[in-house]
Every structure is written in structure tokens, then in C-alpha cells.
Amino acid sequence: MICSASACLPNWRSLTLLFCLGLMLVTENLSAAPPRRPQQPQQQLPDLKSPADKLRFLEMIRMSFPATRAGRSVTFTSEDLDRDLERYVARGTSTPFADLIDDETFIRRATLDATGLVPSANQVKKFVADPNPKKRAALVDQLVESDAFARKWARYWREVVFYESTANRNMVNPQAFEDYLYKEFKQGTSWDRIVGELMSATPQRQRDKKPQDNGWQQDNGPNNFILACENKPELIASNTARIFMGISIGCAECHDHPFDNWKREQFHELAAFFSSGKYYMTDQYDPSKKEEMKPKFILGEMPPPNLKPDQRRVAGAAYLIYNPDNYWFARAYVNRMWSELVGDGFYSVDSLGPDKDVVHVLTVNRIAATFRYAGFDVRWLFRVLMNSRTYQRGIATLEQPEDLFTAVRPTRLRPYEVADNVERLTGDLGGVRGSIESTFDANPSVPQADLEGSIQQALLMMNNGSIHSKLKNSSLRKDLDKLKRNDELITEAFLGILARRPTPPEITRYEYFINGASDRSEAIEDLMWVLVNSAEFVTKR
């Protein structure tokens, strides 16, 4: 029976010693030698079999994490971020910083980034007309607290976890995984608690059920990270390092990493945390020989011997998340989110190693450290990043590393965001939605600078009869038909589709087109078709 948190806390020192993580914590708490006490029986580690047991124990570790106490007095603001970057960027480039974007561009960018949706014409008009000098910060607050924010980022992490997964589809439930993340993000659950639950999960085969009938407990959302890794220690280790630490260690499964300092033994020691029994590494040159590997985290931490499988997984999660020396965990999340918002990371997402370069390392380390001090609060991080001048700069295609963050890189919408924003205009697309998502498919871990559009994407948007038919009969089309003045019609079309007003040259061009058309109604259809098929419709500007 697991003891309550209040009963266990006095014995925290013995428990952290069991996990070795506590060595640093105990040293911090015992700067002066304590008085001698009679020896007591060693506290038994709880079984940690149920998810609730594991989360309670991880919470105890969390509350003794040094950053929990340090966070009370450490601050890092959007202004701090901008001062850091503007100082360091200015040293390495003669490229001027892009101007700050206007209110129309900001509401579209921020709403897309936070929720995956384009704001409505009325939302744009209301925001632009608002005289409040702090309206941008107020909008960010509203967005990060919304259900749409929780759904967007639940979808994103579902794609990250499942994009390269080859798991049998009968044994996983990606939708349950997304719904679990949606609930957690909606509640404001911190990133460390989410990852702790994912890593410590131990889905069990239900012998009385078929795999597709929840036979692997896949309807329980947190189980699906492990199941996406096919419940194989090697895949769990590789994806844990890649997704949650941002480092590429998978090559070391078969041999020492060819480009980094990762050794084959390090990989298999990490994998041993996730084995259901003893774990063996096959000899690199003689497959008939095997060596038993003991769990050892890649920074050197070793749990006590003879831990049960559930206990080992909790130990691995603790080393990943709460070891004060493991800056990779916080930095990986910061870098991913920064890359999503600005279009470039401080380093390539999920491919960092000991020998890889980091751009503006002091800045990303400061953000990551304060993210830890803030209790891995996801909303806090988005507020800091989105309220910065760096995030609110105009777009430019940046070629040189020293020019990074002088502007925001134009980025492509995710496949489901393209589909969502088409459906915003057309209503339910049925099977066409699947065609859009598959045609615009892209690995969410690939840098935006490496993503390109395709002829297939353009042809789908231009030639799909269902999209055109639904646009023709859409509520926006009917509203545009009612407008008599061409300049008003053009303005409302731009606001409804692209969430911005047209420029004077655009109004002139499209007025000329409409005036020269033999059928005004068909000209309106053509205008909508042109805007939906523009590169701007499927990108963030």
C-alpha cells in the first residue's frame, strides 16, 4: 500500500537516495551535519503499479526539485528575451531587424499559432479598432486559455509521437492520446507532469480482448506513447531522447554514433529502464553473445538494483525531468515551441547531440531555465514568446545563421490546419478533408526551412470540384453577393478568407477584373477561388 504524500515526505531523503537523483537534493538540504539519530529500517519504495501511484511519487520528487524553490524569485520577461537577442544578433549580422507587424497581421499570426484557426472578419475588425495599448497581450492571454489552444497542441503532439510510428494500428489509439493531451492542456497541466505520466505508463495485454477492442489498454490516452513505440525498450529509449530531450541517439542502438559522442552502451543502458525484465545488449559482432545491461541514464544516474519494472520507469522519468543537471528536457520543449512560433529553432528540432551547434545558446538556456523555474508552465512560455518583439516582427526568408531572429520565417500551416481553414469557409468537406491532410502531409519535426509546397497541393486546391462547389454555396459567398460596391466586396472577401484588408493596388486590380466581367456573380466566385488558392492562405505571414 502506498503511503500518503504527507506521510512519506519526512522520509523523502531515503526515497531520493534510492533514485540517486536525491543525492544532489539531499546535499542541498544538509549543508550542516545533522545530529546523530538511531538507525531506522530503510523506507520501502512503493510498488508504483497504478498510474495514480506513479504520479503521486513523481509529484513528491517534483516538490523537492530545486527549481521549485528557486522559481519563487526568478523572472524572465518578453523584454528580457528581446534584450538578449537584440544584443547577440546585432553582433553577428548587418541585416536590419524587420519592423513590427501591424494589428491585422498580429491577430492572424497569433490566432493561427495558438489555435490553428484564422480569425473571423469581425474578430479582425474589432481587434484593430480596439484602442487598448495592451490589447496584444490581452489577446495572447485569451488565446492560451482557450479550448482551441488545448486542441491545437494536443493535435501537434499526436503528430509528433505518431508520425514515424510503425505500430500496429489495432494496438494504438491516436485519438485517445490526443483527447488525453487536450484535457491536460485545457486544465493547464504542466509539461513535466504530462511527460512523467507518458514515460511511466505500462500498458498491459488484456488476454480476454482482441487488440482492436482495447486489448492493450490503448483507450487510456497516456499508454499510447509507449504503444506508439511498440512497447519495445529500444524504441521507447530512442523516442524519449528524440522527442523529450531533443537529441538524436537512435543511431547508437547498433554502433557508436558516427557524428556524436553517444556510445552504444549508453543507448542500451537507457533502454534498460523500459524493459519488463532483465535487458540484454547483443554483441555488435557476434549475435550469439549477449551482455546484460543495467539501467543507467545518459547523464550517468543509476537507480538501485532490483527495482521492479514500474519502479524503473518512474526512475527514468525522474532522471529525465527533475535532474537539475539535465537542461535538455526543458530546452527541447522551448526550442520546439520557439521553432513553431518563429519558424527557426535555436537548433534543429530533435537532432541535437553533444557536438552540435546551438545558436544564441545563452538566450535559449535562460528561457529554458526559467521555464523550469516556472514549473514547466506551458501557458507561461507562450505568453513570454508571443509578447516579445522578436515574435512580432515581419517575415523574411533568412539564409544565414547570423540573420536568424531578425525576422520571422514564413511558415506553412499543418495539414489539419489547412483542412480546418478550408472547412471554416465551406463547412464539412467529408472525404475531401482526408485528401487535404494527406496531400499537405509533413513531418512536424522537420524544420520549416526544409518544407516546400508541391504541385499536388496546388492541383488539389485548384481543381477539386467539391471545394469549389461548397465555396460557391458558402455563407461568405452569399454575403458578398449582397454588397453593391466593389471595393466593399473585395475588402470583405479578403477579410473573410485571408483575415486582412486588401492593399490599394489589390483593390484596383480586382475592381478592374470585376468591372470587366460579363457575370458579376461568377467574378465573385473567381475572386474567392484566387484567394483560397493563394500561397498566403496556407501559410502564416
Distance CA 312, CA 110 (A): 41
Grade residue 287 by pLDDT with cuts at 50, 70 and 90.
Answer: confident
Location of C-alpha cell 557524428: 259
Amino acid at position 407, single letter: A
pLDDT tens digit sequence for 307-363:
899 999 999 999 999 988 888 999 999 999 999 999 999 988 876 655 457 888 889
Please give the average per-residue pLDDT across 8-33, as a whole number: 38
The answer on pLDDT for 443 being more than 80 is yes
The answer on pLDDT for 516 being more than 70 is yes
Grade residue 421 by pLDDT with cuts at 50, 70 and 90.
Answer: very high
- pLDDT score recorded for residue 285: 82
DSSP 8-class letter at 281: E
The answer on pLDDT for 41 being more than 90 is no
The answer on pLDDT for 74 being more than 90 is no
State in Å, rounded, how far the first CA of the chain is from the last one: 55
The answer on pLDDT for 282 being more than 80 is yes
Assigned C-alpha cell, 408: 520571422
pLDDT tens digit sequence for 243-270:
999 887 765 545 455 555 667 888 889 9
Grade residue 109 by pLDDT with cuts at 50, 70 and 90.
Answer: very high
Location of C-alpha cell 489589390: 506
The answer on pLDDT for 9 being more than 70 is no
3-class state of residue 171 by DSSP: helix
- Burial of residue 519 (CB within 10 Å: 0-12, 13-18, 19+) is exposed
Contact criterion met (CB below 8 Å) for 342 and 409: yes
pLDDT tens digit sequence for 445-483:
988 888 888 999 999 999 999 999 999 999 999 999 999
Whole-number average pLDDT of the chain: 87
Q: Which of 62-66, 143-147, 460-464 has the lowest mean pLDDT?
A: 62-66
Q: Which of 230-244, 395-409, 427-441 has the lowest mean pLDDT?
A: 395-409
Q: What are phi and psi of 279, to 5 degrees?
A: -120, 135
Determine what percent of the chain is predicted with pLDDT higher than 70.
87
pLDDT tens digit sequence for 110-124:
999 999 999 999 999
Contact criterion met (CB below 8 Å) for 197 and 152: no
Contact criterion met (CB below 8 Å) for 253 and 266: no
Q: What residue ranges in 422-536 does DSSP mark as E strands?
A: none
The answer on pLDDT for 16 being more than 50 is no
pTM of the model: 0.89
- Burial of residue 207 (CB within 10 Å: 0-12, 13-18, 19+) is exposed
pLDDT tens digit sequence for 152-191:
999 999 999 999 999 999 999 999 999 999 999 999 999 9
Assigned C-alpha cell, 216: 492493450
Residues in the chain, total:
541
3-class state of residue 302 by DSSP: coil
DSSP 389-444: TTTTBPB----SGGGTTSSBPPEEPPHHHHHHHHHHHH---THHHHHHHHHT---T
Angle subtended at Cα 251 by Cα 246 and Cα 255, rounded to the nearest 5 degrees: 140
How many of the other CB atoms lie within 10 Å of CB of 147?
A: 11
Assigned C-alpha cell, 352: 541535437
